[in-house]
Amino acid sequence: MFAIKTSLQKDDSFIWMIIGALGSVLLATLLIPLREVTSASNLAFLFLIFTIVIAELGGRPAALITAVISGISLNFFLTKPYLTLVINSRDDVIAFIALIVCGLVAAAFGKERRRWSETAFYAEERLEILSKLVDQFRRNLPLDQILGELRQRFELGAIVLRDEKEHILASAPAGIMPITPETQLHPATLFPSNETRLWLGEKGFRLPKGGGRLSLKTDRASISIDLWEAGPEGIGLEKSRTLAIAALILVLELSSRK
């Protein structure tokens, strides 16, 4: 879900930019019959409403483009002299400037609404994943099954649990016998602990090519969690944080069974 969300956000932003730009021009052409009936300052309110809607649905970039194209369309189609970018009336100049300024304000607030919406989405997604993980342990589901679902949710190539003697406790896919990763991962970020560079993919940082190891200890046990990526896309920040917490839950649950 994290990966799908990130990809959709990029596509949606571009789509709403196009909708905002073309919609502003279309709105101006539809209002042409009214330009002799009322002033451009009154018609500017319709463009402002349209910009606010785009800001809410498409975010800041789309709203910025909509605000600028709306101002240009208002000027070009609805203020005298028509079909030019010249404005003769002082009131029309004020309407043009006010539309641009209000549109930019709407874009700024649209960004904040979108940011808080994304934050709420990731928090809900994280809570759902971790709650389900705890519930699976309470129901005493097989470790291989639990790891299998984590592997799918985080789009990993493989995940393996080992004890302090390097014995495999569980793995996903089941029965896999991979080479032990040499790279240690930081338990909070999953970044390589012994490397100064990070390899990035489309969605975020990438795990080491040979896999990475999380070494976690409690007063009862020492557990290693080996992770391999499924592809070159990488892992988003929220996704990696949630995976790090899930790994800690795994270790605590396994330690409590000893």
Sort strands 156-162 and 222-229 into parallel, antiparallel or unpaired. antiparallel
Measuring CA to CA, which residue among 18, 249, 242, 214 is closest to residue 138? 249
Which of the four pLDDT bands, split at 50, 70 and 90, describes residue 118?
low
pLDDT tops 90 at residue 31 = yes
Domain end point (choices 119, 152, 174): 119
User: Tell me, what DSSP letter sits at residue 34?
Assistant: G
Domain end point (choices 71, 86, 119): 119
Does residue 201 lie in a domain region?
yes
For residue 171, the domain's CATH number is 3.30.450
Which pLDDT tens digit goes with each residue over 156-185?
A: 889 998 888 888 888 898 877 778 888 888
Does residue 128 lie in a domain region?
no
Does residue 132 lie in a domain region?
no
Are 234 and 184 part of one and the same domain?
Answer: yes
pTM for the full predicted model: 0.54
Are 35 and 79 part of one and the same domain?
Answer: yes
Are 87 and 180 part of one and the same domain?
Answer: no
Are 104 and 194 part of one and the same domain?
Answer: no
pLDDT at residue number 122: 66
pLDDT tops 80 at residue 241 = yes
Rounded Cα distance between 238 and 258, Å, is 31
> By the 8 A CB rule, do 221 and 175 touch?
no
Does residue 134 lie in a domain region?
no
User: Tell me, what DSSP letter sits at residue 184?
Assistant: E
> By the 8 A CB rule, do 250 and 144 touch?
no
Are 82 and 147 part of one and the same domain?
Answer: no
Which pLDDT tens digit goes with each residue over 178-204?
A: 788 888 888 888 888 876 677 788 877
Are 78 and 20 part of one and the same domain?
Answer: yes
Q: Letter for the amino acid at 43?
A: L
Are 110 and 151 part of one and the same domain?
Answer: no
pLDDT tops 60 at residue 245 = yes
Q: The domain containing residue 244 runs over which residues?
A: 142-257
Domain count for the chain: 2
Does residue 219 lie in a domain region?
yes
